[in-house]
Structure 1
Amino acid sequence: MEMHPMLIAIIDDDEAVRVSLLDLVEMFGYAVETFASAPEFLSSPRIAETRCLLLDISMPGMTGIDLYRELTRRDVRIPVVFMTGHAQDALVREAKQAGTCLFKPFAGGELRTAIEKAIRTAPV
């Protein structure tokens, strides 16, 4: 039986961030799909395959926290690593309660550790 790498979804409105994270996370050995917005991810047919979200907190329209709430409402349990460049944002407190929150810019090793922890501690 052929084993496929786990799918990580990157959701960030900044294209440069998506591209750089795509390359980095693929180097870690994961399959990656990127999305420019939360609604774009919600309309994806790959939600059920996704094993971890790298999710920007502050996006126009539907924020990362809004997406997390919507997935929870739908009973979709995907481990999340939140990302933000705004350490004082009120949403950061909620993100930290829901999972890991990395502050941009972060080191590749820090990201890898956060992904592995999120996947390892995900409810089955």
Structure 2
Amino acid sequence: MSDTASVSVIDDDESVRVALDGLLRSHGYRVKTYPSALDFLSSAGFEKTACLLSDIQMPGMTGIQLCDELCARGIEIPLIFITGLPAVPPLARPGFCGPVAVFPKPFDCGELMACIESVMRGLV
């Protein structure tokens, strides 16, 4: 892990942001949290983000719209979706820079951390 790179978490549910912040910090990661995709995009946070965890369904800009926007801007950040949706919408479509993984809530923390560690090591 780079000493300046961080994992960014975007979720409109504060309890999820707090829980993921604690989990990631307990594994030694720098963490930035955002209550919305627009807050993330308007910050300088994406410049130092090595891995992005985003909810799919959020007010304003959804996680899928965020992914499309990052792709349109040429910003390549490994993205992991976390979602409470009962059925994940189709994510593979032309011009879409898809996620590395999708984890339904509630997710297994060990599996999520293994995925993040693979991303941070450049294995994904």
Do they superpose with TM above 0.5?
yes
TM-score by length of 1: 0.87
Tell me the number of residue pairs that the alignment of Structure 1 and Structure 2 aligns. Answer: 117
For 1:107 and 1:89, the matched residues in 2 are separated by: 17
1:83 maps to what in 2?
82
Provide the residue aligned with 1:121 in structure 2: 123
Larger relative helix fraction = 1
CA–CA separation in structure 2 for the residues paired with 1:35 and 1:49: 14
User: In the aligned structure 2, how far is the partner of 1:5 from the partner of 1:23?
Assistant: 18
Give structure 1 regions of 4+ aligned residues with deviation exceeding 4 angstroms: none
The residue type paired with residue 123 of structure 2 is T
Deviation at 1:105, TM superposition (A): 0.7
Please provide the CA RMSD for this pair: 1.6
Preserved contact between residue 8 and residue 53 of structure 2 (Cα < 8 Å): yes
Structure 2 gaps, min length 5: 93-97
- Whether contact under 8 Å (1:9, 1:32) holds in the other structure is yes
- Is 2:109 the partner of 1:108? yes
Give aligned-pair identity as a percent.
Answer: 44
The code of the aligned residue for 2:83 comes to: T
